[in-house]
């Protein structure tokens, strides 16, 4: 490959397949970390370096800006750009004295050598922690290996299952933050603060703010057919905590729980942390397959499902399956945890009533979150519980951190009660509908590679790779996406034992129509001439 050498230690590969500013950033960063560009060294000006490399000045400026943002270099007014004395990597490792040698104590000797046994690729920790506290990446279904709590943010996948690059991925979920009514939210926040600042400084109710619970109950009754009163609602810090509380209250260690496969891996994390034995159950065109569930986990006490819009496949559970599941829960002393995560965004037909609205035996726990429909930093979710479970869940909520932020609960209560929430949802449904259509239209340029049926609901589509050689097509498309500077997530990332045909998860909610079209056009152009 062609390279250019500069007067200081730098070689820029001009035909590497990556944007030039990214190449330059990587080369400069590498030279700084290796000490070839020492601390305090003044870098050439963007103009002179651009001339020396034969690239545009904007390319050098963009690379410098990335280095400044990450703390590798700093600008000193008109004096120039200098390598920082303290690098970001150094801040990640606190200097600690070496511990004095000591003999392992009998209670520490879990694996026979004074440390916990290593699992998979996870090194044994230097300090003793519980099995539940171990950080461990493992395949989705597997055997229950102790219920690790500190599972990392992204799950592991078997070799060959996914080739997602370590670049900004197009993940399904993100709301369009640029359309959130920021000024309105700010006015509501100021009003709440002016009215009762002392109350907001005091400790709140672990069940949640009464005004917010009343607003949620009223909204769910009219929009989702959920039958509840404010006293049945418990506020949580998002849906993840809601799942965690349900698992801890309803399951004993080692009891079985059904999970959809493919499905939301965060639910697996929460249930495993509570000590449940996870049973991965296939999903077909009608939703979770109850026959397979009973064969795989006949002793299950809990089923966690997304019946209104299955994640990630997007199917809606049929009415027959819903009644079958309710009958199972009533006859087996089981519980159904209904995660209704994005049913607000439906583009065709009328939404089905929530499963909780069909429950006559008090066996369904309904959960939702505002982080997905409003903005991710709003860590407020909720549970709707059968009356007999409320006290137990409130006690568990108090033990898990007592309460969610009081001020944010008050603001959200007014946002819902004054009608702003409903108006925002209607507006976003229109915006997401336009972006959905833009994605489907743009994907016509990739029709030789994949087929993407229009999703009836939600914030992403599924692109099924065309046969023959579907697996090879998937790899080729992910490689092409990587050269374009972004990642595409394969459906396999959300699968356990299930082995669906190769597919990509294609989100459309977080980017405007123009960006969606540009992304797909660039991907199609990159794939041009390649054999589908």
Q: Report the chain's mean pLDDT, rounded to a whole number.
A: 80
Residue 190 has pLDDT above 80, yes or no: yes
Higher pLDDT, 37 or 338: 338
| pLDDT for 9 | 56
CATH T-level assignment (fold) for domain 3-91: Arc Repressor Mutant, subunit A (1.10.10)
Gap between the Cα atoms of 2 and 13, Å rounded? 6
Q: Which pLDDT value is given to residue 464? A: 94
Dihedral pair phi/psi, residue 253, rounded to 5°:
-55, 130
Q: Is the confidence at residue 175, as pLDDT, over 60? A: yes
Residue 183: predicted pLDDT: 95
> Using 50, 70 and 90 to split pLDDT, how confident is the model at 146?
very low
Burial (CB count within 10 angstroms: exposed 0-12, middle 13-18, buried 19+), residue 201: exposed
Q: Over the stretch 479-527, which tens digit does the pLDDT of each residue have? A: 888 888 777 888 988 887 788 889 999 989 888 999 999 989 999 998 8
Above 50 in pLDDT, residue 140? Answer: no
Q: Within a 13 Å sphere around the CA of 380, how many CA atoms are in the beta-carbon half?
A: 24
What secondary structure letter does DSSP report for 117? P
pLDDT higher at 350 or 353: 353
Q: What single-letter DSSP state applies at residue 422?
A: H
Reply yes or no on whether the pLDDT at 11 is more than 70: no
Whether residue 104 has pLDDT greater than 50: no
Q: What is the pLDDT of residue 17?
A: 60
Q: How far is it, in rounded angstroms, from Cα 308 to Cα 315?
A: 8
**Model pLDDT for residues 233-266, shown as the tens digit of each residue:** 999 998 889 999 999 999 988 899 999 999 987 8
Separation of alpha carbons 82 and 311, rounded Å: 48
Looking at per-residue pLDDT, the higher value among 79 and 418 belongs to 418
The mean pLDDT of 77-87, rounded to a whole number, is 80
Report whether 455 contacts 531 (CB < 8 A): no
Q: What is the pLDDT of residue 483?
A: 81
The three-class DSSP label of residue 34 is coil
pLDDT band at 289 (very low <50, low <70, confident <90, very high): very high
β pairing state of 81-83 and 73-75: antiparallel
Strands across the sheet with 335-339, in order?
Answer: 233-236, 381-384, 364-369, 335-339, 302-305, 256-261, 277-284, 287-288
pLDDT band at 419 (very low <50, low <70, confident <90, very high): very high
Three-state secondary structure call for residue 85: coil
Q: What is the pLDDT of residue 201?
A: 80
pLDDT at position 433 over 90: yes
The whole model's pTM is what?
0.70
- pLDDT above 80: residue 96: no
In the predicted model, is pLDDT for residue 22 greater than 50?
A: yes
Domain ranges in the chain are 3-91, 180-418, 424-527
CA distance 34 to 81: 18
Least confident of 12-21, 115-124, 176-185, 375-384: 115-124
> Is the pLDDT reported for residue 296 higher than 90?
yes
Q: What confidence tens digit (pLDDT) does each residue in 218-242 have?
A: 999 988 889 999 999 999 998 889 9
Question: Tell me, what's the pLDDT at 8?
Answer: 56
Range with lowest mean pLDDT among 8-22, 60-74, 337-351: 8-22
Place of tokens 């920790």: 125
Provide the pLDDT for residue 355.
Answer: 93
Q: What is the CATH architecture of 180-418?
A: 3-Layer(aba) Sandwich (3.40)
Q: For the structural domain made of 424-527, what CATH number should be given?
A: 3.90.1150.10
pLDDT over 70 (residue 393): yes
């Amino acid at each position: 490959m062609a390279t250019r050498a500069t007067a200081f230690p730098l070689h820029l590969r001009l035909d590497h397949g990556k944007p030039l500013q990214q190449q330059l950033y990587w080369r400069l960063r590498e030279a700084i970390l290796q000490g070839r560009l020492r601390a305090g060294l003044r870098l050439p000006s963007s103009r002179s370096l651009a001339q020396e490399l034969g690239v545009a000045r904007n390319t050098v400026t963009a690379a410098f800006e990335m280095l400044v943002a990450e703390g590798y270099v700093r600008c000193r007014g008109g004096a120039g750009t200098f390598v920082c004395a303290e690098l970001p990597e150094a801040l990640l490792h606190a200097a600690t004295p070496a511990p004095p040698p000591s003999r392992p104590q009998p209670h520490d000797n879990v694996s026979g050598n004074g440390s916990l046994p290593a699992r998979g690729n996870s090194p044994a920790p230097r300090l003793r922690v519980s099995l539940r506290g171990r950080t461990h990446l493992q395949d989705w279904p597997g055997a229950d290996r102790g219920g690790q709590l500190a599972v990392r943010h992204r799950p592991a996948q078997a070799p060959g299952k996914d080739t997602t690059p370590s670049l900004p991925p197009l993940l399904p979920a993100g709301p369009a933050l640029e359309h959130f009514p920021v000024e309105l939210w700010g006015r509501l926040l100021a009003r709440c603060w002016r009215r009762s600042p002392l109350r907001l400084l005091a400790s709140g109710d672990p069940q949640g703010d009464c005004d917010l619970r009343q607003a949620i109950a009223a909204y769910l009754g009219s929009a989702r057919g959920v039958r509840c009163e404010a006293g049945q609602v418990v506020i949580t810090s998002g849906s993840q905590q809601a799942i965690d509380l349900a698992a801890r209250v309803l399951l004993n260690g080692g009891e079985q729980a059904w999970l959809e496969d493919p499905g939301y891996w965060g639910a697996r994390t929460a249930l495993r942390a509570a000590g449940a034995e996870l049973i991965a159950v296939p999903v077909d065109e009608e939703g979770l397959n109850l026959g397979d569930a009973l064969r795989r986990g006949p002793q299950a006490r809990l089923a966690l499902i997304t019946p209104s819009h299955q994640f990630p496949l997007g199917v809606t559970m049929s009415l027959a399956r819903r009644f079958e599941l309710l009958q199972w829960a009533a006859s087996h002393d089981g519980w159904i945890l209904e995660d209704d995560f994005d049913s607000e965004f439906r583009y065709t037909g009328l939404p089905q009533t929530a499963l909780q609205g069909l429950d006559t035996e008090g066996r369904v726990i309904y959960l939702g979150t505002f982080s997905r429909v409003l903005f991710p930093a709003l860590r407020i979710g909720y549970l709707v519980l059968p009356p007999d479970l409320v006290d137990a869940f409130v006690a568990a909520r108090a033990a898990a951190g007592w309460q969610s932020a009081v001020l944010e609960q008050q603001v959200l209560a007014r946002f819902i009660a004054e009608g702003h929430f409903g108006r925002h949802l209607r507006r976003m449904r229109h915006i997401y509908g336009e972006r959905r259509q833009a994605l489907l239209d743009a994907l016509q340029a990739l029709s030789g590679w994949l087929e993407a049926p229009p999703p009836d609901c939600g914030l992403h589509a599924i692109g099924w790779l065309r046969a023959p050689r579907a697996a090879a097509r998937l790899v080729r498309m992910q490689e092409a996406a990587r050269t374009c500077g972004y990642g595409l997530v394969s459906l396999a990332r959300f699968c356990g034992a299930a082995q669906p045909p190769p597919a990509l998860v294609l989100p459309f909610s977080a980017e405007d129509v123009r960006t969606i079209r540009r992304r797909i056009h660039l991907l199609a152009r990159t794939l041009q001439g390649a054999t589908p």
